Chains A and B, each alone.
Chain A
């Protein structure tokens, strides 16, 4: 999937995450994470982000996450929502990639 625009998803409320995605030129995934549990789970969260993006075949992005204690399922959901918005996919996404 190709990320064309900037997009965001989520909220700043407790248990949620606010995620912004911006396309970049380099073929990498840049992650900017701000989390209340950064010390304990920062690495795991980053790993989850990378894995999820890999599964969606997404690269060339800068991802900024403001984590307010979100579970994996929430991080995934918000990240995928932001990616789909940034790709402007109006047709049905391939649920096997999500």
Chain B
């Protein structure tokens, strides 16, 4: 038979086999992404020559041994990965990689969403983005100033409310995106509910459930990025390029509102980056103006979600009441018996 490469599947609990994959990746100058649930490995005579992993909707750590490239092994590997993902009920998949691999993955049915700086790119193998853009178009509103906010709200505080109110005042219409990533203490379903309740008095706001196209730090893979110092910047660029080029145009967004970030250096950096990227004249898409709104304070401290969580832990309900809207407070009290 022409090919004696055997493929096998196993999940992350199989420590010994995972270690072998890690070694193989290291030899090929790649890291093992730690969130992989399912592995696919191609072996010849008990040597690993190809591997890949499935982490939810994202395919990661895809590699073929240097000396075996050009034989079409990537196609066999990708078939096995797709099979593994589909058997796990994940039909619409994404992958991140370096732009030099775009053609390979195109051959496997993936198409490019965005690439950035020749360092990283995102692809998907479905018409998901197209469908999403069609949906967004239906929600487009007219106006000169169409604002946007991307919010986690973990949970929704008076600080968040202030930001939304200010943005709403300054816009003809405001689109609020809620990050879906359930890596937070508060589940997405609860967070968005609190946001809806806390903004119900505003008449020009559309609340959007965050999509796969807002790339959270958790999703953004770093295993192939050599210069670790670049990770944050690349993540910001990719995420923001997608926002500007693939999402904003369908809603006609002209502005993006963020709260000032006095405490967290990383977030502050992100905000400054955001201004640059969204206004960059090199893109063919309309520039988006970033407006920083100063955070409101309570007792000389900026109100933040982390402060809320701290107060919850300390059971300081008095102070808690002063920094969250009534709807959020009600929720917190009701659920205080739950371990958070």
Q: Is A34 a contact of B76 with CB atoms below 8 Å? A: no
B30 within 8 A of A: no
Contacts A6-B91, A22-B91, A32-B127 known; A12 to B78 CB distance under 8 Å?
A: yes
A29-50 contacts to B (CB < 8 Å): 32, 34
**Cα of A58 to Cα of B127 in the assembled complex, Å:** 24
A88 within 8 A of B: no
From the candidates B79, B126, B127, name the one contacting A11 in the complex (CB within 8 A).
B79
A1-41 contacts to B (CB < 8 Å): 6, 8, 10-14, 18, 20, 22, 32, 34
**Which residues of B have CB within 8 Å of A52?**
none
Smallest CB gap from B83: residue in A: A8
**Which residues of A have CB within 8 Å of B113?**
none
Q: Is B109 a contact of A66 with CB atoms below 8 Å? A: yes
How many B residues touch A, CB cutoff 8 Å? 15
Q: Is B86 a contact of A13 with CB atoms below 8 Å? A: no
**Which residues of A have CB within 8 Å of B83?**
8
Smallest CB gap from A36: residue in B: B107
**Cα of A6 to Cα of B92 in the assembled complex, Å:** 13
From the candidates A6, A12, A34, A68, name the one contacting B82 in the complex (CB within 8 A).
A12
**Which residues of B have CB within 8 Å of A66?**
108-109
Contacts A12-B108, A12-B109, A32-B127 known; A18 to B79 CB distance under 8 Å?
A: yes
A59 to chain B, nearest CB (A): 20
**Cα of A81 to Cα of B162 in the assembled complex, Å:** 57
**Cα of A20 to Cα of B109 in the assembled complex, Å:** 12
Q: Is A14 a contact of B79 with CB atoms below 8 Å? A: no
Q: Is B72 a contact of A14 with CB atoms below 8 Å? A: yes
Q: Is B72 a contact of A13 with CB atoms below 8 Å? A: yes
- B binding-site residues for A, Cβ under 8 Å: 72, 75-76, 78-79, 82-83, 86, 89, 91, 107-109, 126-127
Q: List 20 A-B contacts (CB under 8 A).
A: A6-B86, A6-B91, A11-B75, A11-B76, A12-B76, A12-B108, A12-B109, A13-B72, A13-B75, A13-B79, A14-B72, A18-B82, A18-B109, A20-B86, A32-B127, A34-B109, A64-B126, A66-B108, A66-B109, A68-B107
- A binding-site residues for B, Cβ under 8 Å: 6, 8, 10-14, 18, 20, 22, 32, 34, 64, 66, 68
